[in-house]
Structure 1
Amino acid sequence: MEFSSPFQTNLAANISAESQEEYRKIISTLPKETAWTPMQPLCLYQGFWFFPIFLEGAMYIQDHFQAQSTDVLLCSSVKTGTVWLKALCFSIATRTQFNNYTSPLQTTFTHQCIPFLDYGEYAASQGPRFPLLATHMPYTCLPKSVIDSGCKIVYLCRDPKDNFVSLWHFLRKVTRNSFKELKEGDLISVEEAFELFCKGISFYGPYWEHVLGYWNASLEHPERILFLKYEDMMKETAPYAKKIAEFLGCPFSSEEERGGRIQEIIEFCSFENLSNLEVNKAGLHQKKDKLIENSAYFRKGKVGDWRNYLTTEMGERLDNIMEQKLSGSGLIFRVSPQD
């Protein structure tokens, strides 16, 4: 996969005034929930909760994105290891073009190397493009062309307890940075956020529906949908790096394996390394009309960190909800205590 400069764009430059007005009219009629952030409500659209500033982009992509059979979509819910997945896939796919020292990830934020479809970072032009794209959109909300094209999908999910805690921290930090006038008491507490999450009211939630959509699709189309768990990949990354390379159509050669290339990529893409790159420690990137600190996307990345914020009873409650919602699917999320 040959990498060229990312096709960042302003969504407003692509969307017509008429379409933009149409989307905003639809959004204005949707059910809303204001508890997560005081300045931006969540809107219920096609069974999932979106922030309006991103829903407009999602609706535009549903109408206009034309997937190509060579595309690979990196899909995930928010705060499930998306930066890590992008960095791994990018480094694996471009390893003949760059080494760790010359990688664009050294100086460019990961989300700018692999743009999000639904965040308005995709240009409508269907010319030559780097085939790795990303989205947080649920499977049932993906553009029809994605399904029709037969393009590949890599999906990463995470234990819901750690996902919730990471999401709570992230939204609080981004909200505080975006709206300086807010005080600590204006931000949602972990208890309030947990209740909403358990009801399915969260960014791109219900979480279990997001996961289940991709899980069921992976069972139906295993040749084009690779379903991954964050905890499994953290425990033993090398086999999954090899699996990703094979899935992307660029398997590691025996010479690369013997030469330690897989481990080099794993170490370069590790939380410790990525979070300490200058671009991720001090850099900023544009998200809609806000400048977001790149460091906001790096907190801990630890499995089981939820125990520092949730009670045992809260953890059990969420585990039980997931077991009930995923019952009969064959998908299990409960993580053992030693993990």
Structure 2
Amino acid sequence: MESSLPSSQILDSDGNAERKNEAKNYNEVMSTLPKVKGLRGDDYYLYQGFWYAPFFLERLMSVQEHFHPQSTDIFVASFPKTGTTWLKALTFAIFTRSRLSGSTTSSLLSKMPHDCVPFLNYNLAQNPSNRDLTIPLLSTHVPYSCLPKSIISSCCKIIYICRDAKDAFVSLWYFHATLQRSKNVEPLPLEEAFELFCNGIANFGPYWNHVLGYWRASLEFPEKILFLTYEEMKKDTAAHVKKLAEFMGCSFTLEEEEEGEVQKIIGMCSFEKLSNLEVNKNGKCLLDISIPIPNSIFFRKGEIGDWANHLTPEMGARLDDIMERKLKGSGLKLPR
């Protein structure tokens, strides 16, 4: 439906009639989609080549229909549990550093990174005006090919992060297991979840197709898409912080570098610092969705190679083999 209103007001202005119509259309589409049981025991639906739980699919369809970005927007994109929280913290700290005017008080000290950088497919699906328009940072787990056409056709920039599939899986399983236990629900055993993941079944999965979509887009539009890996960022964080600032159009000045601004941001966004903040130990994020999530479950370890403590060598080799086959010919080799 065409509207002369700003995009941030479209959903709120059209009233209940359009919402009911959207719900009807959504249910009609859902009834035609292939489905399987997912990591949390609920149904996952195959939509445009990727699997989604109903909660995520409904919001995806909404943003595909309604969302229109600002030309200056920068999207932090990722598959879940691949470094999203850290990248959000870094990009937010880098972009807002000039606002502090000598103060050491950053919103990151009192707000969860996911609340500093709103999710396109969570927060903004329900309320597109739920953002600070002066901060052009948004985030998404949506695969590249499923992004709203308004984003793909725009001059918006995208920063994508991924990591070794084995660590991504273990982190994802722990996230779901912890969330399930907090609701007194027995989580899916790791071995069963691993089988699903190896078959591509996960929210926003298959993982390899998610990674490949952004990788290929970064080769086609290098000025618009910055492709990063968690492992390389951990290896040389300072270089990547400067790369991020340059890509976002807010490079560090020589004076800032001499004053240690890069290291200050790295320290403020470190796992140790963020995980020990009161808001991240006891607060909840995504309060505008039906099930707010405890902030603490986003801070487990932040380590590379932890998969070896949870998967057998055979399981690790199997997932490595799958990733190698799926990425073959793309020119992309993820850290292992």
Question: Of 142, 154, 173, which aligns to 1:137?
Answer: 142
Please list, as runs of the form range in 1=range in 2, the aligned pairs for 1:261-272 lying within 5 A after superposition.
261-272=261-272
Is contact 1:53-1:288 (8 Å) kept? no
Q: 1:132 to 1:295 in 2, by over 3 A?
A: same
Q: Helix, strand or coil: the match of 2:263?
A: helix
C-alpha distance in 2, partners of 1:112/1:13? 26
C-alpha distance in 1, partners of 2:288/2:166? 26
C-alpha distance in 1, partners of 2:33/2:106? 43
Please list, as runs of the form range in 1=range in 2, the aligned pairs for 1:96-175 lying within 5 A after superposition.
96-98=98-100, 101-122=104-125, 123-125=127-129, 128-175=133-180
Letter paired with 1:278: E
Per-residue deviation at 1:129? 4.6
**2:302 counterpart of 1:301:** yes
Aligned to 2:252: 252
Q: Helix, strand or coil: the match of 2:86?
A: helix
CA-based RMSD of the aligned residues comes to 2.1
C-alpha distance in 2, partners of 1:147/1:139? 8
Q: 1:30 to 1:149 in 2, by over 3 A?
A: same
Please list, as runs of the form range in 1=range in 2, the aligned pairs for 1:21-32 lying within 5 A after superposition.
21-32=24-35
Deviation per residue, 1:97-155 (Å, 9 max, x gap): 12673111111111111111111435335994521011000000000011111210000
C-alpha distance in 1, partners of 2:103/2:265? 7
C-alpha distance in 1, partners of 2:81/2:44? 17
Per-residue deviation at 1:334? 4.2
| Percent of aligned pairs sharing the same letter | 53
Is contact 1:30-1:44 (8 Å) kept? yes
Letter paired with 1:138: P
Per-residue deviation at 1:214? 0.1
Q: Which stretch has the larger CA shift, 130-139 or 288-297?
A: 288-297
C-alpha distance in 1, partners of 2:62/2:113? 23
Is contact 2:170-2:310 (8 Å) kept? yes
Q: Helix, strand or coil: the match of 2:316?
A: helix
Q: 1:161 to 1:200 in 2, by over 3 A?
A: same
Aligned to 2:72: 70
Q: Helix, strand or coil: the match of 1:302?
A: coil
Q: 1:64 to 1:127 in 2, by over 3 A?
A: farther
C-alpha distance in 1, partners of 2:159/2:275? 23
Question: Of 17, 20, 25, which aligns to 1:17?
Answer: 20
Letter paired with 1:152: K
Is contact 2:85-2:114 (8 Å) kept? yes
Letter paired with 2:314: E
C-alpha distance in 1, partners of 2:113/2:20? 31
C-alpha distance in 2, partners of 1:271/1:43? 34
Is contact 2:38-2:201 (8 Å) kept? no
Q: Helix, strand or coil: the match of 1:149?
A: coil
Letter paired with 1:88: L
Is contact 2:121-2:141 (8 Å) kept? yes
The ranges of structure 1 where at least 4 consecutive aligned residues each deviate by more than 6 angstroms after the TM superposition are 10-15
Q: Which stretch has the larger CA shift, 117-126 or 62-71?
A: 117-126
In structure 2, runs of 5+ residues without a counterpart are: 1-7
Q: 1:44 to 1:129 in 2, by over 3 A?
A: farther
Question: Normalized against structure 1, the TM-score is what?
Answer: 0.90
In structure 1, runs of 5+ residues without a counterpart are: 1-6
Q: 1:127 to 1:136 in 2, by over 3 A?
A: closer
Q: Helix, strand or coil: the match of 1:272?
A: helix
Is contact 1:57-1:120 (8 Å) kept? no
Deviation per residue, 1:204-223 (Å, 9 max, x gap): 11000000000000000001
Aligned to 2:201: 201
Residues matched between the structures, number: 321
Q: 1:52 to 1:120 in 2, by over 3 A?
A: farther
Question: Normalized against structure 2, the TM-score is what?
Answer: 0.91
Per-residue deviation at 1:274? 0.5
C-alpha distance in 1, partners of 2:144/2:211? 9
